[in-house]
Amino acid sequence: MTSVEPLPGISDAEIDRCRQPLEKAWTLPAKAYTSTEVGALEQQRVLKRSWLPIGRVEQIPEPGDYLCLDLLDQPLMMVRGQDEKVRVMSRICLHRGAPLAEGSGNKKLFVCPYHAWSYQNDGQLKKAPLMDGAEDFDERKCRLPGLKTEIWNGFILVNFDDEATSFAEQSARFGDYFSNYRMDDMQIIRTLEFDSHWNWKVLVENFMEAYHHIAIHARTFEPVYRARDSKIVDHGEPCSILHMPSARKQMAQGFPLIEKLEEWQKTDLLAAVAFPFFLIATQGNSMVWYQILPVGHDRLTLKIHICIPGKNIEIDDFDALADAAAELASIVHHEDIQANDMVWKGLNAPLAQQGRLSPLEKSIWQLNQWWLGRMLGHA
């Protein structure tokens, strides 16, 4: 993209304040979050050009397993074919557009409920009944369109841009940083789901700074992961990593530790985002994936997936430990809901103004630089 268009309702002066060095930088203006017009541009310039995580391979372990979801107005299904390959494809019938499936399950054939066209689980049309006389219609040439798909550490990522650089390539150092946690061996053990009425950036920004631990998480996180100790790991990729050293040098409670971690990895908390919103957090015994599915510029579905190494699912007290991990995630997220609700109210206020960033909020600054680069056509 070469043309530079101003962002609707956002002045050059407001953009300049965001683009200052961190020590002088301001937040994005409210319209970057609340404007329908900016949201529509964001979908084209940012979200449809980025790698977006939509699932984990262990959610569809067997040939024929499928899971449906809607992403940026596109009904999709991720399916493991009879050949074991994971594909992400449109679940809209090639005939008159009816959805071929909902929810999840296992199918060798997807049969359209409208006129019974049937598709193999690799997307190939198998049979379209009563189409004799439709000239030049060839079932063999009909296949459900797919999205560019990549498997990374057990995550299934998609990109609406067929020209996109591979996620593994653009995130090589990011991947190395988390390699000890062996996320590809992990499995989802519990999922919490929330319908959230904020722009997705509000959630990402909250996830990526520990400054708010002093107030919002004063009794939960702050005694262990102190705001003032948090720091950003610099690596020059379109990602941000927040390292929260533990003030207590004992091992994490609960599930057994992940094997072969460094000493600091056993105690500390890491939060990370691969822009725009691939959010993970790791501790010594687990990983949490905050899956964002935008439903518009002002709403999203959030699924918090708690993951542990597959072999730890076999331990005796698994259910009690899994419930306890889910309970803690729920308590912390309900604290964050309060924060995000407050921010959303403020951003929608007529007198909303940009605010100064703390140096502890470097991840937000990094996201802002990346977002503005995409939105202004510089990247």
* Contacting residues toward Fe ion, per CB under 5 A: 336
14-18 — which CB contacts under 8 Å span 24+ positions? 14/354, 15/372, 15/376, 17/354, 18/354, 18/368, 18/369, 18/372
Residue 336: CB minimum distance to Fe ion, A: 4
**Dihedral, 143, 144, 145, 146 alpha carbons, nearest 10:** -110
111-118 — which CB contacts under 8 Å span 24+ positions? 117/93
Residue 246: CB minimum distance to Fe ion, A: 16
Q: What is the number of the residue whose Cβ is closest to Fe ion?
A: 336
Between 46 and 279, name the residue whose CB sits nearer to Fe ion: 279
Residue 255: CB minimum distance to Fe ion, A: 22
Q: Residue 342 and residue 360: Cα distance in Å, rounded? A: 20
Residue 359: CB minimum distance to Fe ion, A: 18
Residue 238, preceding bond cis, omega within 30 degrees?
no
Residue 217: CB minimum distance to Fe ion, A: 5
233-229-291 Cα angle (round to 5): 55
Between 229 and 336, name the residue whose CB sits nearer to Fe ion: 336
Q: Which two tokens stand for residue 53?
A: 């995580």
CB 61 within 8 A of CB 80: yes
Between 164 and 343, name the residue whose CB sits nearer to Fe ion: 343
Q: Quick one: CA dihedral 265, 315, 302, 160, positive or negative?
A: positive
Between 116 and 215, name the residue whose CB sits nearer to Fe ion: 215
Residue 224: CB minimum distance to Fe ion, A: 13
Between 185 and 336, name the residue whose CB sits nearer to Fe ion: 336
Give the helix, strand, coil percentages of the chain, each rounded to 5: 30, 30, 40
Between 97 and 355, name the residue whose CB sits nearer to Fe ion: 355
Residue 320: CB minimum distance to Fe ion, A: 25
Q: Quick one: CA dihedral 270, 274, 280, 284, positive or negative?
A: negative
Between 164 and 269, name the residue whose CB sits nearer to Fe ion: 269
Residue for token digits 């219609």? 137
